[in-house]
Structure 1
Amino acid sequence: MVEEERYCIDIVTQISAVRAALRRVEEEVLKDHVSHWVEHAIASGDKVDQRKKVAELMAVIGRTER
């Protein structure tokens, strides 16, 4: 679009749409991770694995909230 010299507002609108789509994908991947890996760590009773999964989750949430 930039090379085609499209109207700036059209470009910004497309960028916004891509960001929104990526956020939805990110949310789905995170939900899947929590429902599989985090849930498994909790069910296992393994405190070390539980702490590791919680730390991973908190780290990724910290990165995605920017």
Structure 2
Amino acid sequence: MHGYAHDKDNYAKRLRRIEGQVRGLARMIEEDKYCIDVLTQVSATTKALQAVALGLLDEHLKHCVSEALAEGGEQAEDKIREASDAIARLVKS
């Protein structure tokens, strides 16, 4: 089971809301809305996605990584490397 499983419905709801925001952005472009208004919505959507990503990362660290650390060995090293790589990708985005 994944670390976010207990909060899966909340993540799904947040992602559906973000999906609606993206559709709204497309509609704003189609309707030739003012660029600053579009950029404001892009920023809000980006922040919403970042919040989901940070929540998932937090769950991963608390569940998957902590369990692997308790078991030790190569699996622990793999989970730490995996989390570090995910953090690097988030920082670059």
TM (norm. structure 1) is 0.94
1:28 pairs with 26, 33, 55, which one? 55
- Show structure 2 runs of 5+ residues with no match: 1-27
2:88 pairs with 48, 62, 65, which one? 62
Aligned CA-pair RMSD: 0.7
Aligned residues: 65
Q: Which has the higher contact order (CA 8 A, sep 6+)?
A: 2
1:1-66 alignment, distance < 5 Å: 1-45=28-72, 47-66=73-92
- Show structure 1 runs of 5+ residues with no match: none
Q: Deviations along 1:6-51, whole A, 9 cap, x unmatched?
A: 0100000000000000111000000011111001011113x10111
Q: Which structure has more helix as a fraction of its residues?
A: 2
Higher-Rg member (1/2) = 1
